[in-house]
Amino acid sequence: MTHTIIVAQKVVHQLRRDKRFLALSIVAPLIIIFFLKLFFDTMADGFPVERYVVPIAGFLVYFFAFLLCAMVLVQERSQGTLERMFVSGFHKRSIISGYVIGYLGLATLQAAVALGEALLLFHLDYSAQTILSLFLPIWLLAIDSVMLGILVSTFARSEAQVFPFIPLFILPSIFLSGLLIDNDRLPVWADWLGHIFPVYYAFDIIKGIVLRGEMFVDHWSNIAILVGYALVLLFLASATLKDVE
Amino acid sequence: MPVIEIAGLRKRYGKIEALRGVDFSVEKGAIYGLVGPNGAGKSTLIKALVGSLCPNAGTIRVFNLDPIHDRWSLRKRIGYMPQSAALYEDLSARENIAFFGRAHHTLQLNKKLDEILDFTELRDRANDPVHTFSGGMKKRVSLACALIHDPEMLLLDEPTAAVDPHLKARSWDFFREMAGRGMTLFISTHLMDEALLCDSVAILRRGQMIAVDTPQHILQRGKTRVVVQQGTQKQTTQIASTPEALANHLHQYGLSPDVQAVALQQDSLESIILSLVNKQEEKL
Ligand SMILES: Nc1ncnc2c1ncn2[C@@H]1O[C@H](COP(=O)(O)OP(=O)(O)O)[C@@H](O)[C@H]1O
Ligand SMILES: [Mg+2]
């Protein structure tokens, strides 16, 4: 248990020093949401901006949390500190749980920043309750994305090897998981494929909230699936992380 | 009782057989050199000893423990310095060392940190991030990380590779000092001349141990050529590389018969240049 805390402290410490962290979690989403605003401003009146803004903010969090987490962990392997941690007596269980706890903070921050930036730039004024309801699916999505990052990092030997996983896990979800097109307009097989990605369930919650005035609590099954994803990915990551070559 | 015992050790990576049946044992309390060219299997052997790599065949005992099955009890007793720096570049030297110290639940960590930063001469830069350090400084931080929990045995993978001669000499002073405190050091190097600084040398070539001996005995396997010039006549004789053989050879030239051994102890080029550099620095 203390080993978990030691790793978590180190992860937080390291993130605070890492410039990529600041760039990917605060500056990059801000710039992209700003460009999105420029783009949406050219649309005809009556374009349903709310339908897209928060899901896109959620997608950005999903993407950047994955990238950051996978890269930092892969670097841990390629620079040899992972081996050193094992030889210094860290159990792989404490390493993974330390990373999960450290990155939980990161996920919270990224979700809050992206949502805040979207609400501000688009002058969306939702009630506090709605904002909280929107925050929670993005936060869960960020956690899933962190777990995905941890899992991918157990396969990748170098930072460059993280990149092939982007077209594999991240990009298809833009078109298949209800971000740009609602899934009922897709062919059945594509609709099913879209259900593979955790973003589908987060988008479903978000769209329910912004379009139909539902609340987070109205989506128990989606929430359960997002939590289930986190647990399954965590389990897979502990199974694939090798402490002995 | 040897502290390291290896028998029939084999490791292959796909088609490459990195260790091809290594047998070896190490007694307590001294400096052991593992010498071999690049690709000989030194890193593989050290990784197997610290339990971060599972061999395909053979047995390893370190303190009579199996590096993989008994890893939790073994890891408290050994310190490992990998060949690459293996440090967190964004963290300071102190934070790096402290992280690995905490991993071992080191008592009085702050006091130990101060001691070790002094010992490795890193005190002035202790709070700077490691990415601002030179290669030699990173090596010292890495050594400090391996030392922080006072291990009984240190396994150092090429600690002096790509380090300038001055620091290299300092490093060997460190190693001697640690050996003096009763620690067993297992040091790999591809620099053959460093073998002379060890108490015992194992020579690894293409995954096989080709010799294990003291550096003096290994030197004696070589031949010494004595060139004597008398007038215009030059005579070259090959003799064994021992002080006795040299004395014996010189008797015919009138060396007093009661002289039993003659040894030449010449400074190496490296040590001469080092002392020149040091003199120059004193002047500045
Ligand atoms: N992870 C690995 N995968 C494949 N081959 C490896 C790996 N590590 C080492 N080797 C190969 O094993 C041999 C021994 O390597 P190594 O133990 O690193 O030698 P040394 O440390 O003496 O330079 C080399 O031929 C090297 O290419
Ligand atoms: Mg090596």
Residue B44: predicted pLDDT: 94
pLDDT in tens, A190-206: 888 888 889 999 998 98
Enumerate the residues of chain A whose CB falls inside 8 A of the CB of residue B90: 14, 17-18
Mark yes or no for CB contact A89/B54 under 8 Å.
no
Residue B194: predicted pLDDT: 85
Residue A182: predicted pLDDT: 84
In Å, how far are A63, A114, A201, B284 from A157, measured between CA atoms? 20, 30, 31, 48
User: CATH for B4-217, among 3.40.718.10, 3.40.50.300, 3.40.50.2300, 3.40.920.10?
Assistant: 3.40.50.300
- Does residue A73 carry a pLDDT above 90? no
Enumerate the residues of chain B whose CB falls inside 8 A of the CB of residue A2: 105
Of chain B, the percentage scoring pLDDT greater than 90 comes to 42
How far does A51 lie from chain B, in Å, by closest CA?
40
pLDDT in tens, B76-100: 999 999 999 899 999 999 999 999 9
With CA atoms as reference, the chain B residue closest to A242 would be B52
A5 — contact with chain B (CB < 8 Å)? no
- Does residue A153 carry a pLDDT above 80? yes
Residue B48 in contact with residue B55, Cβ under 8 Å? yes
Closest by Cβ to A81, choosing from B47, B52, B88: B88
With CA atoms as reference, the chain B residue closest to A87 would be B75
Q: How confident is the model at residue B161 (pLDDT cuts 50, 70, 90)?
A: confident
Q: How far is the CA of A220 from the centre of ligand 2 (A)?
A: 54
CA B177 to centroid of chain Cα atoms: 13
Rounded Cα distance, A143 and A230, in Å:
7
With CA atoms as reference, the chain A residue closest to B50 would be A87
The strand pairing partners of B64, in sequence order, are none
Q: Return the higher-pLDDT residue of B22 and A1.
A: B22
A86 — contact with chain B (CB < 8 Å)? yes
Residue A5: predicted pLDDT: 93
Q: How confident is the model at residue B129 (pLDDT cuts 50, 70, 90)?
A: very high
Rounded Cα distance, A37 and A33, in Å:
6
- Does residue B282 carry a pLDDT above 70? no
Residue B103 in contact with residue A90, Cβ under 8 Å? yes
Mark yes or no for CB contact A84/B82 under 8 Å.
yes
pLDDT in tens, A19-64: 877 787 778 888 888 898 888 888 877 788 888 888 888 898 888 8
For chain A, the domains span 2-240
Mean pLDDT value across residues B217-228: 84
SS3 A230: helix
Of B135, B141, B173, B142, the C-alpha closest to B156 is B142
The strand pairing partners of B9, in sequence order, are B22
Rounded Cα distance, A119 and A113, in Å:
10
- Does residue B142 carry a pLDDT above 90? yes
Residue A22: predicted pLDDT: 75
Q: Return the higher-pLDDT residue of A166 and A83.
A: A83
Across A210-224, A229-243, B87-101, which has the greatest mean pLDDT? B87-101
Residue A177: predicted pLDDT: 86
Of B186, B177, B188, B119, the C-alpha closest to B148 is B119
pLDDT in tens, A120-147: 888 888 888 888 888 899 889 988 988 8
Residue A8: predicted pLDDT: 93
Q: How confident is the model at residue A1 (pLDDT cuts 50, 70, 90)?
A: low
Residue B284: predicted pLDDT: 61
How far does B86 lie from chain A, in Å, by closest CA?
5
Phi/psi-derived region of residue A60, left when phi > 0, alpha when psi is between -120 and 50, beta in every other case: alpha
Residue A84: predicted pLDDT: 94
**Is the four-CA dihedral A72, A74, A77, A80 of positive or negative sign?**
negative
The strand pairing partners of B17, in sequence order, are B12
Of B207, B260, B175, B281, the C-alpha closest to B6 is B207
CA A124 to centroid of chain Cα atoms: 22
Mean pLDDT value across residues A170-182: 85
Residue B79: predicted pLDDT: 94
Residue B151: predicted pLDDT: 92
Q: How far is the CA of B82 from the centre of ligand 2 (A)?
A: 9
Q: How confident is the model at residue A87 (pLDDT cuts 50, 70, 90)?
A: very high
Mutate to test the interface with B, among A4, A78, A88, A157 (most CBs of B within 10 A): A88
Q: In what order do the strands lie in the sheet with B153-157?
A: B78-81, B153-157, B184-189, B31-35, B200-205, B208-213
Rounded Cα distance, B160 and B270, in Å:
14
- Does residue B108 carry a pLDDT above 70? yes
